Chain A
Amino acid sequence: MTSAAMTTRRRPRHDSVDGGGSLAAYLVAFALVGVCLAPAVYVVLGGFRTNSQIIQSPAGLPDPWEVGNYLSVLTGGLFWQQLANSLVAAVGTTLGVVVLGLMTSYVIARYPFRAKHAMYSLFAAGLMFPITVAITPLYILVRDLGLTNTLAGIIVPQIAFALPTTVIILVPFLRAIPRELEEAAFIDGASRLGFFTRMVVPLSLPGVITVGILAFVASWNSYLLPLFLLNDPALYTLPLGVQAFASQYSVDTARVLAFVSLSMVPALIFFSAFERRIVGGLTGAVKG
């Protein structure tokens, strides 16, 4: 007990928190990680089995390992096409959100004019309009604009629906840029626009990356909007494609599992690349 107290004094930061014994912490962490990963692992392993293996023992391991399912999906073209569609939609959405969101937030954050509070409230109110609520008339609107069965038809609404979060996150960010910096830039002869492009954009990069990632992930996982707007299988994004594949090959479980696990891969790669940003961004967004 005394030695523990001594260590506490020497390294107070974390040992003081350590009460329940760290073995329990490891056990809980291990169990939690297991529960979180098991279904994904099941899907990936299932893709390496044959249908008869799956029928005989639904929860078994691959024996022998069968790569044919993955190969047929990878060489089929369908997967790559849907991957490309998803990428186009997500990149288009992200770029649009970042550019429009940054410009709009800059005005709200730093231009002195009366309507800006109203503008901020308007965007904040947008948080209350999830795409679910607007989808029926949105479909009509996009159809009347002739944009059904185009990727633009899902990109533009996705930008619109990502803007509220973007503005809410970026405005405080831009507001935090010190006045002195702005004054210095103006004294050096920069215009407000010049200040925007040369100072604000680089300085707000962390916030921009956060909102960009949020928009990318939202677009990547988006299902309802493509479901309403895309009838042409050639334009299907991965979520639609996965579902269509699953219902088309419902008897070929192994191949469905292979397709599903391959479509998890891009999201997982993207996530592991930006993990710090995603987690930090979410928590920042919540605390900010």
Chain B
Amino acid sequence: MSTPEHVRSDVPAGPPAAGDGTGPVPSPARGPVRAAAARTARRRPVPWRRWLEILLLAGPGTAVFVTFVILPVLMAGYYGFFRWSGYGPPTEFVGLRNYQLILTDTAFLEALWHNAFILVMSLVMQGPVAIGIALLLNRRMRGRSLIRVLIFVPYVLSEVIVAIGFSLMLHTAGAVNDVLDQAGLGALRQDWLADPDVAIWSLMLILVWKYIGFAVILMLAGLQGVPDELREAAAIDGASYWKTQWYITLPLLGPTIRIWAFLSIIGSLQVFDLVYVIWGQYVADTAGTSTMATYMVANGRISGAYGYGSAVAVVIFLISLAVALVYQRYLLRRDTEGALTGGAA
């Protein structure tokens, strides 16, 4: 009993003076006294000091996070019940009127439909292709790391840059139609951005272009986690290449696919920059590419209706949350301790 006691009491007297300068100063004095009380907690400093450290270390980050993330979200919930131009305290309480208006506004319902379309099509258009490409690239080949870098380039560029580049190319007198003409495919010319039947597909094309590299990289990383031994064993047992991929690689890639799909779904519900830069605040409606987020900005900030804009934000949040929870509940649960439920972490 006396040995740890002894060790502990003379510990703070020595090296820590050279330590961080702030911490250890009080401990030589208090050390022995408190230490006797907290005999079982060998490695722990005395409680008040521990709380001070916790406050000092976690305080600033938590404060910034709560102030600028949690608080605005709560504020959105509050403002959503008011008709408010954003100046002075909100006074004109309207109850659920804003929500009623949102959910009956065909412009919002169209935007919601576009988000749903983007969500489904992103999964359908990117998933199988990304998995196929990753399977094909998952071998020793020349320039493999260069390929990895290059297919990741679109992901690194900002959506604004991508939007401007593509809007110039997809313009009626732009490069895409020109290439089609020169290739003798003039019949395929389209008004890529303004034709409501085509525009959403153009948006999908740009989204796929921008995010497929990310999907491929994720899948490749997931494939590295599949032990070669399993594939070897299958090969020795006479399984063909494709059979091996189908019965061994793909199931083991499951967790990666599910996480990718989750990220893709959440991203699809938030699409804003691309649409806003290419189509602007008004054209998106007529071109059939408006999203919930562009609707929120156009009908909130731009129209000076901050109460209404906040209510739209709440609706977007609730929709995203519902989708995320359902997804986590039924698909992600077996992979990770759910981040939302706090898990057993």
Contact = CB atoms under 8 A, between A and B. Distances in A.
A133 B316 contact: yes
Contact of A137 (B7, B61, B75): B75
Interface stretch (B120-128, B132-140, B194-202): B132-140
A182 interface: yes
B260 A286 contact: yes
Contact of B151 (A33, A57, A183, A243): A33
Mostly, the A contact residues are: helix
B207 interface: no
Contacts of B57: 103-104, 106-107, 193, 196
Interface residues on B, range: 35 or more
Of B7, B309, B339, which is in contact with the most chain A CB atoms at under 10 Å from its CB? B339
B134 to A, nearest CB: 11
Contact of B23 (A104, A130, A163, A193): A193
B244 to A, nearest CB: 8
A208 B259 CA distance: 22
Contact of B179 (A29, A40, A59, A119): A59
Interface residues on A, range: 35 or more
Mostly, the B contact residues are: helix
B161 A282 contact: no
Given A25-B139, A282-B218, A286-B259, A189 B11 contact: yes
B342 A243 contact: no
List of 9 A-B pairs having minimum Cβ-Cβ separation, nearest first: A19-B241, A283-B221, A160-B68, A104-B61, A194-B19, A221-B158, A121-B342, A137-B75, A100-B61
10 contacts: A19-B244, A36-B150, A100-B61, A107-B57, A134-B313, A193-B57, A198-B20, A264-B161, A268-B157, A286-B263
Interface of B: 7, 11-12, 14-16, 19-20, 22-24, 27, 43-45, 50, 53-54, 57-58, 60-62, 64-73, 75-76, 79, 86, 133, 136-141, 143, 147-154, 156-162, 164-166, 168-169, 171, 173-179, 182, 209, 212-214, 216-218, 221-222, 225, 228, 231-232, 235, 240-242, 244-245, 255-256, 259-260, 263, 266, 270, 272-273, 276-277, 293, 296-297, 300-301, 306, 309-310, 313-314, 316-317, 320-321, 324, 339-342, 345
